[in-house]
Amino acid sequence: MRFEDLTSPEIGALDRDKTVLLLPIGSVEQHGNHMPLGTDTMLAEGLCLAAAEQLAPNILVLPSPWYGYSPHHMRFPGSITLRPDTLRALVADIVGSLVRHGFRRIVIVNGHGGNANLVGVMATSLGEDYYGKARIAGLTYFHLAAAEIAQLRKSEKGGTGHACEFETAMMQHLRPGLVRLDRAASIYPETGTPYLSTDLVEGSRVSTYLDFADLSPTGTFGDPSLASPEQGERFFAACTDVLVRFLEDFARWPVAGGSKI
Amino acid sequence: MRFEDLTSPEIGALDRDKTVLLLPIGSVEQHGNHMPLGTDTMLAEGLCLAAAEQLAPNILVLPSPWYGYSPHHMRFPGSITLRPDTLRALVADIVGSLVRHGFRRIVIVNGHGGNANLVGVMATSLGEDYYGKARIAGLTYFHLAAAEIAQLRKSEKGGTGHACEFETAMMQHLRPGLVRLDRAASIYPETGTPYLSTDLVEGSRVSTYLDFADLSPTGTFGDPSLASPEQGERFFAACTDVLVRFLEDFARWPVAGGSKI
Amino acid sequence: MRFEDLTSPEIGALDRDKTVLLLPIGSVEQHGNHMPLGTDTMLAEGLCLAAAEQLAPNILVLPSPWYGYSPHHMRFPGSITLRPDTLRALVADIVGSLVRHGFRRIVIVNGHGGNANLVGVMATSLGEDYYGKARIAGLTYFHLAAAEIAQLRKSEKGGTGHACEFETAMMQHLRPGLVRLDRAASIYPETGTPYLSTDLVEGSRVSTYLDFADLSPTGTFGDPSLASPEQGERFFAACTDVLVRFLEDFARWPVAGGSKI
Amino acid sequence: MRFEDLTSPEIGALDRDKTVLLLPIGSVEQHGNHMPLGTDTMLAEGLCLAAAEQLAPNILVLPSPWYGYSPHHMRFPGSITLRPDTLRALVADIVGSLVRHGFRRIVIVNGHGGNANLVGVMATSLGEDYYGKARIAGLTYFHLAAAEIAQLRKSEKGGTGHACEFETAMMQHLRPGLVRLDRAASIYPETGTPYLSTDLVEGSRVSTYLDFADLSPTGTFGDPSLASPEQGERFFAACTDVLVRFLEDFARWPVAGGSKI
Amino acid sequence: MRFEDLTSPEIGALDRDKTVLLLPIGSVEQHGNHMPLGTDTMLAEGLCLAAAEQLAPNILVLPSPWYGYSPHHMRFPGSITLRPDTLRALVADIVGSLVRHGFRRIVIVNGHGGNANLVGVMATSLGEDYYGKARIAGLTYFHLAAAEIAQLRKSEKGGTGHACEFETAMMQHLRPGLVRLDRAASIYPETGTPYLSTDLVEGSRVSTYLDFADLSPTGTFGDPSLASPEQGERFFAACTDVLVRFLEDFARWPVAGGSKI
Amino acid sequence: MRFEDLTSPEIGALDRDKTVLLLPIGSVEQHGNHMPLGTDTMLAEGLCLAAAEQLAPNILVLPSPWYGYSPHHMRFPGSITLRPDTLRALVADIVGSLVRHGFRRIVIVNGHGGNANLVGVMATSLGEDYYGKARIAGLTYFHLAAAEIAQLRKSEKGGTGHACEFETAMMQHLRPGLVRLDRAASIYPETGTPYLSTDLVEGSRVSTYLDFADLSPTGTFGDPSLASPEQGERFFAACTDVLVRFLEDFARWPVAGGSKI
């Protein structure tokens, strides 16, 4: 299920029309006092693997390049950011290599809010580059599953932002040893304007640069105190399910130019 | 109200803290059989001017660089597209020049769906570049006013996509001489998947490249037959109102680093 | 006559061999105490439209991207500059899109001295890119009409530099409401060397960076006191006439590689 | 020991002078019929972790961005290549972010021959960028340990090239479940010239592009038949030991400009 | 007199205020049947050295990077072209290094028509980059000496274009062994339009791409049959004299920002 | 033998299969108190010409673009550095032009240690770009001849680093008038670590940025006092011989894709 674990002839034997390749991207950046820097990438990858398990055999998960676009976290130690052009070049080279090998269905599965607009740009521009040869899609998993997350959450608005009820619970489920819940601090950040939301299940209507250190002393946006492993299991199952259903649909999208879509 | 109409000393005399500068961006691209190529830029600029009129005197509208990111329209004659990097460099240079002159409040007002993700990237990355010196916001006006448009529209889902009930009516109000309603053709495009919407008041949950020529023979997405000048007046007033209210709010956002937001 | 006012099918119906497309470029930059920032672009566009009117129907004027290369004006408020690479990418993308639609005759009509060398580079390199497919020309209108302007001017050498007798009169003719002649200050700048001219009808024999704020307190180079609407009308008619004659000639230039030229 | 597993405050508490950060880089590319695509990155990361274990606590291993420069493998399915500029930008952004957080000792640990010259360029140019602030080193582990590998190997010249006696044994030790020795094919490639070596413990005296598909039908260079888990254990221990000794030395190199080195 | 012949301490001892550095640039491109590919660079360098001899000791000639922008000659064997961005980066790096060493007066002396607009762009943009620190000038020597060449020439219009009366005579004087006058072919190319001149002492009023192979079977523009060593000596002396006079003037130009010019 | 001295038709007449083109690259940078800035380029070019003389007629030497990658010398006056990207673009454009003219065997002959890794990258990436059309090789001549130099040298380890026994003697042979041996100072630099060598015939096992001013007050690494013209003659003959033997071998390497190598 992991692309990097296969041999070249095993890759060569895959059905080019049916195989869906998932590229998880995330970030290495602060996740409050209680969660690891790699949270976003771990979750994106974890969901991809869980979805791939359900959809085997015509699906593979590529190794994640780990790093993302995180300038708004740089005032917190350990945060690493790529420039937007670097991330675009990186994904473009990976996708381009896959298309050279004849793959036709590639999904960028993003787990970091800061990457979301770039994922939109990349899916569109790579889709144009390989129009008629490959179908490229991009998604941010918690936007895809926003409705399901909203139903499951316990916190009020502002509780699921960053290193929050949602992400903490997800990690308690996926990588429990890396969560130090005793160190968690809850904060419902105030932007002072209805136009900017800090909640990840609810987009902002306007884009601006939000430096996390201006809104939260620990970098947390939301309420990790409401997280639990059981809640994490529910969130994870819901997100996996949403992703699986999308991938089943995506596997039927036409690739060739001239077709619908 | 138009930046380009003022003299240099008049610009020099403006209050740097209060003045809000609007940069309208749009596109030059096909708008069906019945609407002009410049529709998106004309509407973005028209709304900026209407909002500026209500908010005078601490607001100015910059001249629009006209062109946008439109690869998905290139199979229709007259469509022009910038590469994403060109649009980003262009806006970065304009904004950077304004910041050199001490301006601190700049809004990119976008009128073209294809630019939307790039506007998000630009607002964020320019906001980081000038953190503590200037506040940069970016918005796509019909996303900002999605609720209001949804209330006013007559068409069902799919009716307000591109050169549609909404854009046609807006132009009938703003530039009636440029609309040839007799040539309009209505089409409700089928993407064949619930994950991709062609309706501009409703975002897609997943990004992919949608070539307009694959979904509509004329390039129209939606139902211009439901448009009318009166409907256009209502749409235009609602969009202006939404933009004005946002700008009033934006004028109070803190600029300096360390402040909330 | 304006490209952006037409529909896509109207563009599609144009004769690719005969149609000449004009792309006016200029700048947004200080023009002394008495003239608007947008002067250069307004004049380039105004001349294109005047020429197109005489040459209709096989000619169209593209919307101007407004901004140009103006580092030497940045010490005056309101001046905006693109980096040279941004301007080149911008024009390259516009021209490239037009060539994709089959257009074969494109002229960059420049109204800003600071762009002149870049226009030369762009016309050459784009001409190479599309060799055999399209003929690209670039010109700075007051260089093209230098002899005619020299005959009409009243000022001595140094009187027609920037926001000067010439440009002021041109704007008094084209956009009289935007000229505040009462605020105009005349200055004949001293470069202290015969190798550098500040007069726009006479090129310098050597290139160097001339920061306008070092040579003129108001940014004006020349003598706006000699300007008048009548003089502007004569200048404008002469420039239009020169441009028209060139475009008539250009319409006969061979496009295909292997031909003369 | 894994950077991505720590929280931001844990990173913040590290001693900036003593902490050494290791960035493993490798590739995703064909490794013959019998080894996984991710071999090079797995080995580089495995060695970094083994060395870090011996040198704890003042050392951390960053997550590997996985992909490298592999154009010479692209004719084999599954190989992925970044362009040289992409790899340089990627490493530059990661290193630059670490320097912003005050880290002063960073080592790029490379496990892929195709990256070797780029690692040299990156170590030098990043070292210049951060001169006096941070000390950056770059190494290719099997070049660093060339003498030790040469002593342990059983094959003759040509036997340790790619997916060979050496790499196969290393993986039999580190990730035995991913090696299919039964599918391995040995080949001693003939370059036909003494100037080009295919053996990884012996550099070529001249650089040129060697497309692996021209020299080996399976992509293997060398003799995996001589590999064994025991041999892998010896190779791995030797490489770890060499890396540890280097890192102990590196921890004493001066960082500040003006010092020796 | 040659920069590259001096030792570092000798360069270190130079008076930063008085020393003028000349960077000759030219091209490697076809020069008809009878002249060497390196003609333009040889002539630019030869003139710099001749001028430096007259102006010693406060002047040095840098080694020429030889290659230029020559796409219009590529259909003739041996022509080499840099992309415009490469030439700009190359000159920018050289000039930037010199400014880091404190040099304040640098002149780009160009000997190739194809570089002329780029030289204008480079002089301006580098002048802006180092405003107040260094004065950068750029010139094309045969434009600087156009009047003097016009007086000395024997040919009619069209006779001094490329590998012509002028360049052939110059080389007969400077590098007689490299001219094969017996192979020379004269041609007065026809552009078919008054807007494009092929004569190097007379600029074109409009820029476009002129592929030399379309206008001349041998690549020669002009009349080498009128060249002679004596004529070359006169041309060379005149060009040297013009350059010397300019450099004497340039040595007095102010460098610091805020001064006139 | 010099490419730039030939006419275009002479280049056109060369046998594309047999002709080998040499591109010497080096640097303009400090070479101690006693040697000229241009040493590296002069030596690379001198060796190319000497080798070409022995291998005539199927070999030509291109003019050297002179400048290289020398950030580590910038604290010594007169040193000039290109950015890595500039050097790569420069060589790429030259090689690309030659391939357009059908040349199939090109060798980059480098004389500057700071360029060595970049030469490796360029030979590989250009080799990929022109795979099947041209064979590109890159070498650093004193690495190619390391064994021969080691045999001839009189100094101990550290004696042949930069402006050292080796380079001084080579210049005493090739350009005796440019060596001021009386000003030479010997220094055996101490890096304080066995991982970094300053000796040019012995590579370092690890890459890092070594600023020459930190290790040597004059910039010299090594022992020029052991140099002599006779020693230089021996070094030069040995290096030439090694280069000639390589070029004879290279002339037989296959060019077409699919062949061995």
The Cα–Cα gap between D51 and D56 comes to: 9
Residue D132 lies in a domain: yes
Helix ranges (H only) for C130-257 are: 141-144, 146-152, 165-174, 212-215, 229-250
Per-residue pLDDT tens digits for A53-97 = 999 999 999 999 999 999 999 999 999 999 999 999 999 999 999
- In chain C, the residue whose alpha carbon lies closest to the alpha carbon of B176 is C5
CB D195 within 8 A of CB F243: no
Label residue C201 by pLDDT band (50, 70, 90): confident
Residue D256 lies in a domain: no
Per-residue pLDDT tens digits for F88-128 = 999 999 999 999 999 999 999 999 999 999 999 999 999 99
What mean pLDDT is predicted for residues B74-96? 98
The answer to whether the CB atoms of F214 and D135 lie below 8 A apart is no
Between CA E36 and CA F159, with CA F40 as vertex, the angle to 5 degrees is 160
Helix ranges (H only) for B101-228 are: 116-129, 141-144, 146-152, 165-174, 212-215
Query: With 70 as the cut, is the pLDDT of residue A258 above it?
Result: no
CB pairs under 8 A between E and F: 177
Residue F256 lies in a domain: no
Residue in F71, F126, F144 closest to D206 by CB: F144
3-state DSSP assignment of residue D127: helix
Query: With 90 as the cut, is the pLDDT of residue A261 above it?
Result: no
- D8 lies in which domain range? 3-250
pLDDT of F257: 65
What mean pLDDT is predicted for residues A36-60? 98
Residue C255 lies in a domain: no
The answer to whether the CB atoms of B208 and A144 lie below 8 A apart is no
The Cα–Cα gap between C84 and D127 comes to: 30
User: Which residues of chain C does B8 touch, with a Cβ-Cβ cutoff of 8 Å?
Assistant: 30-33, 37, 76-79, 219
The answer to whether the CB atoms of F86 and E63 lie below 8 A apart is no
pLDDT of B232: 98
Query: With 60 as the cut, is the pLDDT of residue B8 above it?
Result: yes
In order along its 261 residues, chain E shows pLDDT tens digits of: 999 999 999 999 999 999 999 999 999 999 999 999 999 999 999 999 999 999 999 999 999 999 999 999 999 999 999 999 999 999 999 999 999 999 999 999 999 999 999 999 999 999 999 999 999 999 999 999 999 999 999 999 999 999 999 999 999 999 999 999 999 999 999 999 999 999 998 888 999 999 999 999 999 999 999 999 999 999 999 999 999 999 999 999 999 765 666
Cβ-defined contacts of B153-158 (< 8 Å, 24+): B153/B201, B153/B226, B154/B226, B154/B231, B155/B222, B155/B223, B155/B226, B156/B188, B157/B197, B157/B199, B157/B202, B158/B188, B158/B189, B158/B198, B158/B199, B158/B221, B158/B222, B158/B223
pLDDT of F261: 62
D109 phi and psi angles, rounded to 5 deg = -105, 110
Amino acid identity of residue F79, one-letter, is S
The Cα–Cα gap between D161 and D173 comes to: 18
> Which parts of chain D have pLDDT scores under 50?
none
User: Which residues of chain C does E71 touch, with a Cβ-Cβ cutoff of 8 Å?
Assistant: 124-125, 128
3-state DSSP assignment of residue A39: helix
Interface ipTM: 0.97
Domain CATH for E169: 3.40.50.10310
pLDDT of C80: 98
What mean pLDDT is predicted for residues F166-184? 98
Query: With 70 as the cut, is the pLDDT of residue A259 above it?
Result: no
Find all residues with CB under 8 Å of B92, minimum gap 6, and list them: B122, B125, B126, B129
User: Which residues of chain A does B119 touch, with a Cβ-Cβ cutoff of 8 Å?
Assistant: 207
3-state DSSP assignment of residue D218: coil
pLDDT of F142: 98
Q: Which of B107, B191, B208, B249 is most worth mutating to test chain A (most A CB atoms within 10 A of its CB)?
A: B208
The Cα–Cα gap between F224 and F217 comes to: 15
CB pairs under 8 A between B and C: 176
Percent of chain F with pLDDT over 90: 95
CB D207 within 8 A of CB D193: no
Per-residue pLDDT tens digits for B132-191 = 999 999 999 999 999 999 999 999 999 999 999 999 999 999 999 999 999 999 999 999
Residue E114 lies in a domain: yes
CB C64 within 8 A of CB C41: yes
Label residue A4 by pLDDT band (50, 70, 90): very high
The nearest CA of chain E is from the CA of F14 a distance in Å of: 10
What mean pLDDT is predicted for residues F239-256? 96
Residue in E8, E37, E178 closest to F76 by CB: E8
The answer to whether the CB atoms of F3 and E78 lie below 8 A apart is yes
Q: Which of B81, B108, B117, B259 is most worth mutating to test chain A (most A CB atoms within 10 A of its CB)?
A: B117
Touch between chain D and chain C (3+ CB pairs, < 8 Å)? no
Q: What is the 3-state secondary structure (H, E, C) of chain E?
A: CEHHHCCHHHHHCCCCCCCEEEEEECCECCECCCECCCHHHHHHHHHHHHHHHHHCCCEEECCCCCCCCCHHHCCCCCCECCCHHHHHHHHHHHHHHHHHCCCCEEEEEECCHHHHHHHHHHHHHHHHHCCCCCEEEEEEHHHHCHHHHHHHCCCCCCCEEECCHHHHHHHHHHCHHHCCHHHCCCECCCCCCCCCCCCCCCCCCCEECCCHHHHCCCCCEECHHHCCHHHHHHHHHHHHHHHHHHHHHHCCCCCCCCCCC
Touch between chain A and chain D (3+ CB pairs, < 8 Å)? yes
Q: Which of C22, C201, C207 is most worth mutating to test chain E (most E CB atoms within 10 A of its CB)?
A: C207
Number of domains in chain D: 1
3-state DSSP assignment of residue B137: strand
Residue in A32, A36, A65 closest to D4 by CB: A36
The answer to whether the CB atoms of B7 and C93 lie below 8 A apart is no
Between CA A54 and CA A23, with CA A224 as vertex, the angle to 5 degrees is 35
Residue F258 lies in a domain: no
Sheet of A20-25, strands arranged across = A59-61, A20-25, A105-110, A135-140, B207-208
Percent of chain A with pLDDT over 70: 98
Residue in D76, D83, D183 closest to A93 by CB: D83
The token pair at B133 is 């010196």
pLDDT of E258: 55
The answer to whether the CB atoms of A261 and B196 lie below 8 A apart is yes
The answer to whether the CB atoms of E89 and F86 lie below 8 A apart is yes
The answer to whether the CB atoms of F136 and D208 lie below 8 A apart is yes
pLDDT of C167: 98
The nearest CA of chain E is from the CA of F199 a distance in Å of: 21
CA B164 to chain centre: 15
F139 phi and psi angles, rounded to 5 deg = -150, 155
Residue D260 lies in a domain: no
Residue A133 lies in a domain: yes
The token pair at A91 is 């994904």
The answer to whether the CB atoms of F37 and E79 lie below 8 A apart is no
The answer to whether the CB atoms of E192 and C143 lie below 8 A apart is no
Touch between chain C and chain F (3+ CB pairs, < 8 Å)? no
- In chain E, the residue whose alpha carbon lies closest to the alpha carbon of C136 is E208
pLDDT of D217: 96
Residue in B196, B209, B246 closest to A124 by CB: B209
- The chains found to touch A (3+ Cβ pairs under 8 angstroms) are B, D
Query: With 80 as the cut, is the pLDDT of residue A18 above it?
Result: yes
The token pair at A160 is 């699921």
What mean pLDDT is predicted for residues B109-124? 98
Quote the DSSP letter at residue F64: P
Residue in D5, D32, D81 closest to A97 by CB: D81
Residue in F3, F78, F90 closest to E11 by CB: F78
Residue in F85, F120, F195 closest to D207 by CB: F120
- In chain E, the residue whose alpha carbon lies closest to the alpha carbon of F176 is E5
Helix ranges (H only) for F107-251 are: 116-129, 141-144, 146-152, 165-174, 212-215, 229-250
